[in-house]
Structure 1
């Protein structure tokens, strides 16, 4: 099914595989040693392979022999930098292209020779209950030539009318023209910014299907390149737009590249890394390079000093993906799925050459036979089977809800940064930097604390600080609360991404993970309008975010714990995983029981 696209392969450790790979993906060190034992065998000198002809071998089994994490993998790690930064830039750039300063007021041509403060004091009615203390959408009606010549002071009894000649903006907030200021998306048009962002996310939904189909049909690398080129074209088109409709259409195209530009490279690189290093590779590369892209963006925007130049700069950077085929290899799993076994073997031998390792011809021949056998055994599974099993259906819908909550919270907090009463460029950088420590923490404590309680606890913390952000004074207090809220949801968000893949049986895991992520994309259509409610009631958006966090925290406790558990291979396994749970099951507390389970598994595999 072509719907099962880039997200369908996103399963963090390529977990639709045999039991050996399954236990490896659960990071059980004894299982890793057991796998190496079966591949390298103490009694065989032919690259340590067991001589049993019935034993099957896949690409992951050969990676330890080709170099688990050598120079080749470090080179691929470096290659993730542009693609992970692409994702950050594509996702966040529209904020700096369309943001409108909160300080804006009617432009009065007759008062052009006065200073900004003099014009505003003379022509703009005060508004005690407003955000700025003055009206942003109306001005006094007067004969301004006469007012200037006679020195008459403004009178609250003067006639008031909506702005007739456009607006002027406080350039100390955002010191360059944005699409929002050029097209005057204020007052009755103040929802346009949110609508343009929602249309961007609508493009990401369609892009998931189209780029996924390209990646399945022509390869992961063409999918990554085409995704980046679509984004580059959308960015260039943005420069020539003249109204909201044209701008929104260009952002729809940019949205089609969102996430796809990163995920294809993510999949390729992880497939060339031995299973026990994949969690580190996934979290560390994302923590470093996505954070770098996000934290650099505000300062790139300031250097460009114009939204059109900013859009062009990002587009040129995206277009550099054209050179990726010169240095980035194709996905070995995709090659094998298409029957291109010899091409996959060439990739493997390239790893050996660069890592200075050797694999014997007998090992290669055994892998070749296993690969062709696996191709002949491939079967198509109907993903809709998820909905026919009551227990699995319940868990699937709940994990969709959990991911939706995380997506709404994450995006709403990102777009609320302009409401904190602090320089948007500084506050955005500070809040974006939380990606780095949160991902590092996830890598170290997720298995120790478990998915359920970690997600619930950190979403509860997010709820608390989101609520406080809405009511504490603007400035440093609100920024600190926003940083802690964003830090907390980052942890829950990244845990849920992996969690979703661990609950579903192998045959439908790809389809299920795809559906979960598409639900998240659809949910982000709502978040810009939540933030827009700031124009109605200033504290309302963050209170809604806090409520969504509570829903997510409660939902997390209903879901089954998957830490240090075998991935379900069948629907029966999945149902057993769901039923064999207690509410107070916490991996760090149940460590003794877990150790007994692991030790038993270890002894069985190493028994001679």
Structure 2
């Protein structure tokens, strides 16, 4: 709402309150990283081999094996017990429950339920956020994540593990997104992209790099889950610090509470505002709401016309590809000839450079170029690492260095694609259905991550197969992204009709960085008879 941004200028849109909210958002980025990657850390599979009839002094095999080895006294075809060589002494859930070889499907199923929970949680908590508010859902989602992780400690069978991981998954996305929305709404528009991206790039990166070493320090998966869950006890106190969304309060006609939030902002930012200014603000909001159409289009309108339907389906597929690759690449830290803990940290270190690269290039070369090049980059380097796995030996130090480097570059590319693609989708979907459309695109992406565990499990069939699958779908996603219109420096679509006509003259080779700006955003304003949204204003994202 334009009225809200104007009022925030008076109350302070980059003062003490905004610094406090950025600090809390930074903390949530760390907690979000710990929660998201806990699923990977507790599931690490150490080196294992058959222990049937094995001499206690027998040497440790070079590779894991599900079948009895030559050193086993018992040469039966089926192994009944195993020995493990934990990474850095860390006891994971998989080796404690012996969910390997014939029982490996149990671990994959349990991991998949985490993402089933994330889809349910994104839908349900997002719906409740529109009814009860952003702050309550921020607190609830983090409590659900903490409960799910703590309950997982008491998992003794597959059923309990699946239920508790599903509960933990409910928090994924909402535990971060609600605060993202609140910070964005209270931040000065010109500083939103930089402020939010820096917080994500620095603190999500630190949380991702540190999560494996918390596991090493605790020594076992139970202590690790407890250690990452306890800090979530701080989040309920956000309820008393973080103001509710003024835009949401206005949309629900809760004018008194909206004014109370604005007065609180002004007080913290040490601004003196006359009561008449608040009264005028409420009147402006009422007039604006009265002029709004009573009937609004819904998400089904995105599929009624050919071009808008094509673009929407491409956005769905792109979200699936990017989210799947992002999750799978971040998990793919074993079998590369280096400790998975070290590989996890090295891979996560690419998050900050990727965010900085987006800040530096996205508003220069455009969303289309940024997303497609990022996917192309990750697809090529992930595929090449699979080829090296097939032709080389991870025991060779030089080969290991190459694999690690390629994996890091692949993670760098897919991180850029993930962050850039999210903004691209938000700008392409018309304003009238933007909330519903972005939510649907987001959910489709999370739903597809269900398969990431099974893609990585194909390594047991053919060593480089996960890299081949991820590389191919990344390249397909990069090609399909070329069919989308550019949004940089253009008036974003407001109605469904605008969405159908948006970028109608664009070709697959049309990039904003290769041609001069052909249409002035300001020049289009009189044609619409209303204020226009620019693609660089993230106030339209939610």
* Contact kept in structure 1, 2:301 and 2:496, CA below 8 Å: no
> Which ranges in structure 2 are unaligned for 5 or more consecutive residues?
395-399, 531-542
SS at match of 1:408: helix
Q: 1:221 corresponds to which residue?
A: 135
Structure with more contact order per residue of length (Cα contacts < 8 Å, sep ≥ 6): 1
Q: Deviations over 1:224-258 (max 9, x none)?
A: 11111111111111111112221121101100111
Q: Confirm or deny that 1:403 pairs with 2:347.
A: no
Q: Confirm or deny that 1:246 pairs with 2:176.
A: no
Distance 1:248 1:485 in 2: 30
Distance 2:181 2:508 in 1: 34
Q: Deviations over 1:34-65 (max 9, x none)?
A: xxxxxxxxxxxxxxxxxxxxxxx510122222
* Contact kept in structure 2, 1:139 and 1:160, CA below 8 Å: no
Q: Deviations over 1:348-387 (max 9, x none)?
A: 2222233233334443222110122344455343221111
Q: Deviations over 1:505-557 (max 9, x none)?
A: 21111111111011101110111111000111011100111101111110110
Distance of aligned partners of 1:110 and 1:541 in 2 relative to their CA distance in 1, 3 Å threshold: closer
* Contact kept in structure 2, 1:185 and 1:192, CA below 8 Å: yes
SS at match of 1:578: coil
Distance 2:414 2:434 in 1: 25
Distance of aligned partners of 1:598 and 1:209 in 2 relative to their CA distance in 1, 3 Å threshold: closer
Q: 1:479 corresponds to which residue?
A: 404
Q: 1:77 corresponds to which residue?
A: 22
Q: 2:364 corresponds to which residue?
A: 448
Distance 1:589 1:583 in 2: 13
Q: Confirm or deny that 1:542 pairs with 2:472.
A: no
Q: Give the drift of 1:335.
A: 1.3
SS at match of 1:418: coil
Q: Confirm or deny that 1:191 pairs with 2:105.
A: yes
User: Bigger CA drift: 482-491 or 203-212?
Assistant: 203-212
User: Bigger CA drift: 571-580 or 292-301?
Assistant: 571-580
Q: Deviations over 1:564-594 (max 9, x none)?
A: 1111111221122131324333222324546
TM-score (norm. length: structure 2): 0.90
From 57, 66, 84, the counterpart of 2:11: 66
Distance 1:67 1:603 in 2: 31
Q: Deviations over 1:328-355 (max 9, x none)?
A: 2111122112211122222222222332
Q: Give the drift of 1:451.
A: 1.4
Q: Trace 1:66-465 onto structure 2 (pairs within 5 A).
A: 66-101=11-46, 103-108=47-52, 111=55, 114-117=56-59, 132-133=62-63, 135-139=65-69, 159-164=75-80, 166-171=81-86, 173-377=87-291, 379=294, 380-465=296-381
* Contact kept in structure 1, 2:43 and 2:94, CA below 8 Å: yes
Q: 1:576 corresponds to which residue?
A: 501
Distance of aligned partners of 1:105 and 1:210 in 2 relative to their CA distance in 1, 3 Å threshold: same
Q: 1:566 corresponds to which residue?
A: 491
SS at match of 2:83: strand
* Contact kept in structure 2, 1:183 and 1:244, CA below 8 Å: no
* Contact kept in structure 1, 2:482 and 2:509, CA below 8 Å: no
User: Bigger CA drift: 460-469 or 571-580?
Assistant: 571-580
SS at match of 2:511: coil
The structure that has the greater radius of gyration is: 1
> Which ranges in structure 1 are unaligned for 5 or more consecutive residues?
1-16, 18-56, 122-131, 145-157
Distance 2:525 2:438 in 1: 30
Distance of aligned partners of 1:140 and 1:244 in 2 relative to their CA distance in 1, 3 Å threshold: farther
Distance of aligned partners of 1:518 and 1:453 in 2 relative to their CA distance in 1, 3 Å threshold: same
* Contact kept in structure 2, 1:80 and 1:289, CA below 8 Å: no
* Contact kept in structure 1, 2:48 and 2:82, CA below 8 Å: yes
TM-score (norm. length: structure 1): 0.81
Q: 2:533 corresponds to which residue?
A: none
Distance of aligned partners of 1:134 and 1:588 in 2 relative to their CA distance in 1, 3 Å threshold: closer
Q: Deviations over 1:142-180 (max 9, x none)?
A: 8x6xxxxxxxxxxxxx7433222x211112x35221110
Distance 2:379 2:32 in 1: 27
Q: 2:539 corresponds to which residue?
A: none
Distance 1:281 1:94 in 2: 29
Tell me the matched-pair count. 517
